[in-house]
Amino acid sequence: MDHIATFFSHYDALTFFNFLKERNIEAKLAPVPRKVSASCGTCVAFTSESDIDFAGCEIEAVYVKIEGGGGSWIRKS
């Protein structure tokens, strides 16, 4: 998984997880990595080759994993 999305609530994380599954995008619910700060302790990890239209989704931020960065993430939005 090369992206993670963080949320303000667990409900928003579960809603986004289902949003991705409905679009056949591989995703999993996971704890937020320690290097990433978030309001809610749950994130959705997913892989995407193209941009996803997140309109209508309550997302705090989206992060992209830095290759060779030892588990580091950079904020995308």
Query: DSSP assignment of 37-53, as one string?
Result: --SSSEEEEE--SS---
Domain range summary for the chain, segments of one domain joined by +: 3-75
At 34-48, the pLDDT tens digits run: 888 767 889 999 998
Weakest-pLDDT range from 2-6, 20-24, 48-52, 64-68: 48-52
Question: In whole angstroms, what is the distance from residue 41 CA to residue 51 CA?
Answer: 24
The overall average pLDDT reported for the chain is 87
